[in-house]
Amino acid sequence: MNIDGNAILVIEDLSMVFGGLRAIDTVSMYIKKGEIAALIGPNGAGKTTIFNCITGVYAPTEGTISISRNGVTSGEALHKIQGLKPNVINHLGLARTFQNIRLFSNMSVLENVMIGRHNSLKAGIFNAIIRDPHTKEEEQRVIEESYDILKKLNLHMYVNEMACNLPYGAQRRLEIARALATNPFLLLLDEPVAGMNPQETKELEETINIIRDQEKVTILLIEHDMSLVMNVSERIYVLDYGRLIAEGTPQEIKSNPEVIKAYLGE
């Protein structure tokens, strides 16, 4: 695979087999530093499975997944992450949201984001019990940082609200906020606007751009909403029956006969 640009995520010949089903079949792709890329495809094409392989929920059957925080051209070696545990992968700088919202629903909105900051804190049990000045200061800091993140995603009015009581759109944004709190360099969004109305979708589109531009976070998203995908992404991968059938700019994808066939049939 020839990589054009400064890749931070490189997937080579990735396959995932569940019993007799090849959910992903020798997929190779890469994500460039600072871009917004999209992964699209009909239902059941294997998009979420790829996400699950990247984030460690599944260990892929074959192939490699490697990351490099500053990009390959910076001279940094690629770090293989396939088969690592999800928490380790998160620690390395990959964060994700979920297709079916997985918030900590009986915790407050702020606490949800504070969980995201878990790894940037150090306090253990004994610190918690003694509550030394350093731990206190750390707690104070995480509260403030989490509030700032909520503010960026326009969720600060819900701080003390229970996550499950939030409107649907806000829950999706909270998932992004929580993922951002882990301080990732690559954010994987799994259908971020599923179930949102056009207004909310528009807002989220802006949010995604803001996250990329201000937070310098690279974004890979799975989405069915084509208007969002075409507006926001710079490069698109199309998946069908576990195989990569096309890649390119939104313009190229729109006119690709293979893609049209996959979506509309012959």
Partner 1 sequence: MKTRIVLSELFKALGNAVWFSVLLFPLMIMKVNVVGGKALVTFRWQFVPFIFVSSFILSYLWKRALVWNEHRQDKIASDTLYYKFKKNVQTYFKNQSIKYVTLSLLVAFVVSFPFLFGMYHTNVMITAFIYVILALGLNIVVGLGGLLNLGYAAFFAVGSYTYGLLWKYIGPNFISAGIDTGWLFWISLPLAGIISTIFGVLLSLPVLRLRGDYLAIITLAFGEIVRMVLQNSGQITGGATGISLIPRPWFFGMKLAPKQAAVYIYYIVVVLVLLTIFVVRRIEDSRVGRALEAMREDEIACQAMGIDLVKNKLITFALGAFFAGIAGVVLAAQTTYINPDSFTLWESIMILMAIVIGGTGSIPGAIGGALLLKLLPEYFRPLAQYRMLIYGVAMILVIIFKSDGLLPRHRKRYTFEEKTNSNASAGAGK
Using CB under 8 A, list all residues that contact partner 1. Answer: 55, 57, 85-87, 90-91, 95-96, 98, 102-108, 110-111, 114-116, 118-119, 121, 123-125, 127-129, 131, 135, 138-140, 142-144, 147-148, 151, 156, 159-160, 162, 178-179, 182
Q: What are phi and psi of 8, to 5 degrees?
A: -110, -20
* Nearer to partner 1 among residue 80 and residue 102 (C-beta): 102
Beta-carbon count within 10 A of 106 CB: 9
Toward partner 1, which CB reaches closer, 21 or 128? Answer: 128
Q: Considering the complex, what minimum distance in angstroms separates the CB of residue 68 from partner 1?
A: 19
Does residue 225 contact residue 198 with C-beta atoms inside 8 Å? Answer: no
Minimum Å gap between C-beta 258 and partner 1 is 33
122: exposed, middle or buried (C-beta count within 10 Å: 0-12, 13-18, 19+)?
exposed
Rounded least distance, CB 107 to partner 1, Å:
6
Cβ at position 103, least distance to partner 1 in Å: 7
For partner 1, the closer of residues 219 and 238 by Cβ is 219
Q: Burial of 67 by CB count in 10 Å (0-12 exposed, 13-18 middle, 19+ buried)? A: buried
Q: Compute the Cα dihedral for 241, 244, 245, 248 and give only its sign.
A: positive
76 vs 148, beta carbon nearer partner 1: 148
Shorter beta-carbon distance to partner 1: residue 138 or 203: 138
Closest distance between partner 1 and the C-beta of residue 214, in Å?
Answer: 12
Q: Is the torsion defined by CA of 220, 237, 47, 51 positive or negative?
A: negative
Nearer to partner 1, 146 or 201 (CB): 146
Q: Give me the least distance between CB of 41 and partner 1, in Å please.
A: 22
Instruction: Give the number of other Cβ atoms within 10 Å of residue 156's Cβ.
Output: 15
For the chain, the first-to-last Cα distance in angstroms comes to 30
